[in-house]
Amino acid sequence: MACRITELVLDCHDPDRLAEFWCAVLDYEVIGHEPDGLALGPAGARFGEGAVTLILAQTDNPRAGKLPLHVDVSPAGTDQETELARLTALGARPADVGQTGEESWVVLQDPEGNEFCLLRKDVGPA
């Protein structure tokens, strides 16, 4: 027996705004509405099957900046530079967490300031 990660929960101020961003980043859609937030996943996703669901939980006091756990994303069918331009156009901003400039990844923030990393390796089409 073992467990699988089925959801990642991100506290946020405005779930609708972040849903627009993260759905575009991950090619997800809103797959569920909760009283205090939204569930995001691939089209037709069912809980516990396939990709991890992202829950955007509305709170008046979301924690922004460096979190103990963060999300890494990888380009899918493109290179890091092209994907960085796309993410920036969607509203991602560079984040400084003390990088040296020698890292193979890029640290970004979503529109509410939650940090995530864009890795270099193209993982192929989604």
Walk along the chain (126 residues) and give the pLDDT tens digit of each residue.
688 888 999 999 999 999 999 999 999 999 999 888 999 999 887 777 788 999 999 998 877 666 778 899 999 999 999 999 999 999 999 999 888 989 999 999 999 988 999 999 988 876
Q: CA of 121: how far to CAs of 5, 59, 67, 93, 110, in Å?
A: 22, 34, 23, 20, 21
- pLDDT given for residue 47 in this prediction: 72
CA quadruple 59, 64, 70, 71: dihedral positive or negative?
Answer: positive
Write down the mean pLDDT value for the chain.
90
- pLDDT given for residue 64 in this prediction: 65
On whether the CB atoms of residues 47 and 92 are closer than 8 A, the answer is no
Which residue carries 């627009």 as its tokens?
20
Q: CA of 77: how far to CAs of 8, 12, 124, in Å?
A: 24, 29, 4
